[in-house]
Amino acid sequence: MSTTAISLPRLARRNPLAMIGVVLVIVFVAFALFAPWIAPRDPAQINLPDRLLSPNHTHWCGTDELGRDACSRLIYGARISMIVGSCVVLVSLTLGLIVGSIAGYYGGGIDRFVNVVVMNAFLSFPGILLAIAFVAFRGPGIFNLVLALSLGGWVGYARLVRAQVLATREREFVEAARALGASDLRVIVLHILPNIIQPVIVQAAIGMAGAILAEATMSFLGLGVPPPTASWGAMLNDSRAYLFSAPHLVLFPAATVMLAVLSFNFIGDALRDLLDPRSRIEAGL
């Protein structure tokens, strides 16, 4: 096992930005889990007489073009971002672990096929374009969105896992496990994976930031979760028409997306620095 363990107090001492990231993530997860209790109003409740109100003591972030409470919509929007983000990371990570482990462990023809043909096929398009193309033809919805974003997302994990497995499979403890008669599955799952999981966790933290950003981008383009479900990207798109009269409707969702993405980037950066002394030296920490 690697000697560098991930510990939160250590992370906080070394890198206060990471601690800010952890706190923000806790806030966003709480928003997602307890939105009905935290949100001051029903996010779908239309109230036309109160449309396009500026932030005030009743509506902290103002109201949108249909008089819906923007603050409640932002809180509920965390649900879509967190659900889509974590599902995309989970699906991509699982696929990446399976494909990367098989390619790296068995090597030879299987590795060449996976590395040259399959991975290159998915890398021949920018990830977000692949997602846009998939949803454009399959239609919007949360399931299609997760699938679309995972299509381009798994390759990064598979490449990382493949490289790590290639480096680990020749080590003594793996050979010892094989000599004791352990099956390939047992060697991969119980002996190799626990030893390569730390860089994969770093990739997952950074991947979560990317997935949240991608979900918001898709929603902004009208390819996310259909209305009236609140999502940050769709809120931004809807409010563009009122940029002059109600700029707060752009500013609040923009700041929320940025904070959500930034929080996972802070955590990912800090974990990478913690696990890779070289990057820590480069960063001057």
Partner 1 sequence: MARYFLTRIFYTLPAVWLVVSLVFLLIHLVPGDPILQMLGESVPAADLQATRHAYGLDLPLSQQYLNYWKGVVHGNLGLSLRYNQSVSKLLMQRYPYTLKLTLAALLVAVLLSIPAGVRSARRRNDWDDRTISVVSLFGLSFPNFALGPILILLFSIKMGWLPVSGSGSFANLVLPAITMGSALAAILTRMVRTSMLEEMNQDYVRTARAKGLSEGAVVYRHALRNAMIPVITVLGLQFGALLAGAIVTEKIFSWPGIGRLTIDAISNRDYYVVQGCILAIGLTYVAVNFMTDLVYSILNPRIRQ
Q: Which of 34, 36, 81 is nearest to 215 (CA)?
A: 81
Instruction: Produce one character per residue of 180-212: b if its CB has 16 or more CB atoms within 10 Å, e if not.
Output: eebeeeebbeebbbebbbbbbebbbbbbbbbbb
Q: Does the footprint of partner 1 cover residue 120 (CB under 8 A)?
A: yes
What the block records as the tokens of 221 is: 């383009």
Told to check if 9 binds partner 1 by CB under 8 A, we report no
How far apart are CB 7 and partner 1 at their closest, in Å? 23
| 213 in Cβ contact with 261 (< 8 Å) | yes
- Using the rule CB under 8 A, give the single segment among 44-52, 62-70, 116-124, 166-174 that binds partner 1: 116-124
Residue closer to partner 1 (CB basis): 109 or 284: 284
Residue of 44, 251, 275, 280 interacting with partner 1 (CB under 8 A):
251
Residue 255 beta carbon to partner 1: minimum distance, rounded to whole angstroms: 8
Residue 140's nearest CA partner among 211, 212, 82, 225 is 225
How many residues does the structure list for the chain?
285
Among 81, 101, 164, 217, binds partner 1 (CB under 8 A): 217
Q: Is 109 in the site for partner 1 (CB under 8 A)?
A: no
The answer to whether the CB of 93 falls within 8 A of the CB of 204 is: yes
Residues that bind partner 1 (CB under 8 A): 17, 116-117, 120-121, 124-129, 132-134, 136-139, 209, 213, 216-217, 220-223, 233, 236-237, 239-240, 243-244, 247, 250-251, 253-254, 257-258, 261-262, 265-266, 269, 282-284
